[in-house]
Amino acid sequence: MDTERAKQIYDSKDTHAVHLEGDSVWIEHVDEANGMATVTVGNNPINTQTVSVDRLKESKE
């Protein structure tokens, strides 16, 4: 995924299926300048990671 798409998903009112290495994630923040995103893994609000947006995959469900 690219930074622009990650930002679109973050700003969207719709729900989009996004995965990080097979795990479902929610995008919490997008750092456009550095190409990074902070995501929550699964339903655990304390399991957050900051990763490169190119590691995120959007599912076409």
CA distances from 27 to 2, 12, 45 (A): 13, 11, 12
Please report the pLDDT score of residue 61 as a whole number: 58
List the domain range (segments joined by +) for residue 24.
3-58
Question: What CATH number has the domain bearing residue 22?
Answer: 2.30.30
- Domain count for the chain: 1
pLDDT per residue rounded down to tens, the chain (61 residues): 999 999 999 999 998 999 999 999 999 999 999 999 999 999 888 999 999 999 999 987 5
Tell me, what's the pLDDT at 12? 95
Rounded CA-CA distance 35/47 in Å is 20
Q: For residues 51 and 36, is the Cβ–Cβ distance under 8 A? A: yes
